[in-house]
Amino acid sequence: MDSGSFFDVYFGEFKSLYKDVKNAPGLKNKVLYLIMPPGWSHTGGHLTAKIDFEQFLNQDSK
């Protein structure tokens, strides 16, 4: 992301979401990209905020 670009800062995530939806296999995965939380992936490599936070807490307690 170009932090000096107004459009990139405010609309860059929509561009990324469009690319994810476009490249997702099958209609089901395309729809899931629109309704699942940020970080969800059809490949199973999810890193949603909830998972990231849980990993942070587990790392902190070690």
**What pTM value is reported for the model?**
0.67
Q: How many domains does the chain have?
A: 1
Beta-strand runs (E) in 1-62: none
In a domain, 1, yes or no: no
33: nearest Cα among 52, 51, 12, 13: 13
In a domain, 11, yes or no: yes
Residue-wise pLDDT for 5-45, tens only, equals: 888 888 988 988 999 999 999 999 999 999 988 888 888 87
Q: Which domain holds residue 38?
A: 6-60
Asked if residue 42 lies in contact with residue 34, where contact means CB atoms within 8 angstroms, the answer is no
33: left (phi over 0), alpha (psi -120 to 50) or beta: alpha
In a domain, 33, yes or no: yes
The torsion angles phi and psi of 24, rounded to 5 degrees, stand at -70, 140
